[in-house]
Amino acid sequence: MKNKCDVIKDLLQSKQISFPKEEVLVFAPSNIALVKYWGKRDTELNLPQTSSLSVTIPKKGANTRLKLIDAEQDHIILNGEALDAKHPFAIKAADYLTLFRPITKRFYQVNSDSNIPIAAGLASSASGFAALVMALNELHQWQLGLEEQSILARMGSGSACRSFWPGFVEWHKGQNDDGMDSHGEPFNVPWPDLCLGVSLVSEQIKPVSSRDGMNRTTQTSPFYPAWPNKVEQDLENIKQAIYDKNFHRFGQVVESNALAMHATMMSAWPPILYWLPETVEHMHRVWQLRQQGIGIYFTQDAGPNLKFLFMKQQIGDIQKQFPMLEVVALFSKQ
């Protein structure tokens, strides 16, 4: 079995190692899974049990500045704050950079600004790791293709492998032990009027990380064996709904997939419940709106915040129910 360092060596061995630049600045967007990744077949390489499908959130994500430093360890700055080496995010980032050390032999300063709440189930780790890989690639001038960068980012955080393209992106689970076939691929069917709304219930750091949550679920939930079949059907149905621009079919897949994922967590032991009372209250408001004929569906990740999907024409009606809603046009041209 290969480990992460072996995969990195394989990927970089054919690349010309030229002089690194002094400093680079990159932006990577976040993405929200519509058919979720929940559970790994290989925890070392972050290889998933199932494929998944996401939509990229334009302009929301991480701006990361990477620079080489003469120091004995990496320095991580997050949203302007220099993190102590024992901070969980500093550990995650430094552990990841350590994987590249046999090749790069250098230490880095990572200065990352995220314009989304960290660890509140808004996929900040996806944009964070995608940006780190983009920055490493640019700093060292490796000229890796997007699929190769997606493979590298996946080893930092699985969902990060979908952040390299705009629009809908499918992460293929792949079959190979080394994961070289497990990366994102754009699903190039735009949906111009599709919007996402984020209803913030809490910006608290989640009590159980997605990583621990999914591992506990695969190990202990009696319902987990049903999950791969559900995902396979949902992937087929969502792609068809996107081709047909059938919003209600699309929304039904999205909402039902998220609820099924949460059902596997609730049935894990110890149980995992990311929901707060306000989360449930927002769900009921969504269902009430649907009863009134307004097309709105929700999805929820490993946190209490819901993300809503709706068409541009419904924004006014939805904002009457959710005045604080932040709306993003997912396929906007600017």
Nearest approach in angstroms of CB 25 to ligand DP6 is 24
Q: Is 46 in the site for ligand DP6 (CB under 6 A)?
A: yes
DSSP for 224-247 reads: GGGHHHHHHHHHHHHHHHHHHT-H
Contacting residue, 51, 114, 124, 125, with ligand DP6 by CB under 6 A: 125
Distances (CA, A) of 20 to 24, 28, 110, 130, 139: 10, 21, 15, 19, 5
Residue that has been written with the tokens 């300063």 in this structure? 109
Q: Strand pairing partners for 186?
A: 169
With binding defined as CB under 6 A, does residue 159 bind ligand DP6?
A: yes
The CA-to-CA distance between both ends of the chain, in Å, stands at 45
State which of positions 295-314 bind ligand DP6 (CB under 6 A). Answer: 301-302
CB of 43 to ligand DP6, least distance (A): 8
Verify binding: residue 150, ligand DP6, rule CB under 6 A: no
Contact 218, 40 (CB under 8 A): yes
Q: Please report how close the Cβ of residue 70 comes to ligand DP6 at its closest, in angstroms.
A: 31
Query: Is position 157 an interface residue for ligand DP6 (rule: CB under 6 A)?
Result: yes
Q: Which stretch binds ligand DP6 (CB under 6 A): 152-160, 219-227, 311-319, 323-331?
A: 152-160
216 binds ligand DP6 (CB under 6 A): no
**Residue nearest to ligand DP6 as judged by C-beta position:** 158
CB 174 within 8 A of CB 180: yes
Report d(CA 7, CA 13) in Å as an integer. 10
Helix (H, G, I), strand (E, B) or coil at 143: coil
How many of the chain's residues bind ligand DP6 (CB under 6 A)?
15
* 287 vs 198: CA distance, rounded Å: 16
The correct pick among 4, 36, 173, 206 for binding ligand DP6 (CB under 6 A) is 36
What x/- string results for residues 185 through 214 when contact with ligand DP6 is judged by CB under 6 A? -------------------------xx---
Q: Which residues bind ligand DP6 (CB under 6 A)?
A: 33, 36-38, 46, 52, 123, 125, 157-159, 210-211, 301-302
